[in-house]
Amino acid sequence: MVKIRKIASIEKGIEEVLKILNEDEIQDTIGKGASYLRKCGDPDLNQKLHHSDAVKLDLKCIHKGKSPPLLNSHKYILDEGSGDIKTEFFDVDDLLVKFTILDGDLKKVVKESQDPSSPQGVKLDHIEKKKIFESIKKIEDKILKIKIAIDKG
């Protein structure tokens, strides 16, 4: 009998992996077969998928041109769990203004990093990459707050 899995569950992500990857691809990726994944994807069993295996499986799915199902499951779980966050201090208009400022900051950092007169010229060095990733992280954090405020509002 087919078991229904919650969308916000690792088991659902595993179900999706099993649709994308065949037996040989799973074996080559994590050194375990599809039957192991089916056990991990059974909500009634206590078989757990190792995090490192989940990352490898998601990467394999990405290499096949598919979105990473286990990462998507994690996102659904986090979105579902964010319902407990108090958002009375989140004003969507204010968040959007701050998002726009952060977007401008990111564009400035990227433009400066790719300037021919920068330390590595148009090639990005380690420090420039770090600044860009920090700017992206700030934007991602702001997007999360916007999503929560909209969901709660």
Residue 82 DSSP one-character state? G
Residue 153 DSSP one-character state? -
pTM above 0.85, yes or no: no
φ and ψ at residue 117, rounded to 5 degrees? -90, 0
pLDDT of 86 reads 59
Using alpha carbons, select from 151, 45, 145 the residue that is nearest to residue 95: 145
Task: Indicate whether 36 pLDDT > 80.
Answer: yes
Using alpha carbons, select from 62, 60, 36 the residue that is nearest to residue 49: 36
* 97 contacts 89 by C-beta, under 8 angstroms: no
Task: Indicate whether 98 pLDDT > 60.
Answer: yes
Tokens of 48: 């757990």
Using alpha carbons, select from 125, 104, 103, 105 the residue that is nearest to residue 114: 125
Quote the CA–CA distance of 153 and 142 in Å, as a whole number: 16
Quote the CA–CA distance of 32 and 29 in Å, as a whole number: 8
* 144 contacts 95 by C-beta, under 8 angstroms: no
What percent of the chain has pLDDT above 70? 86
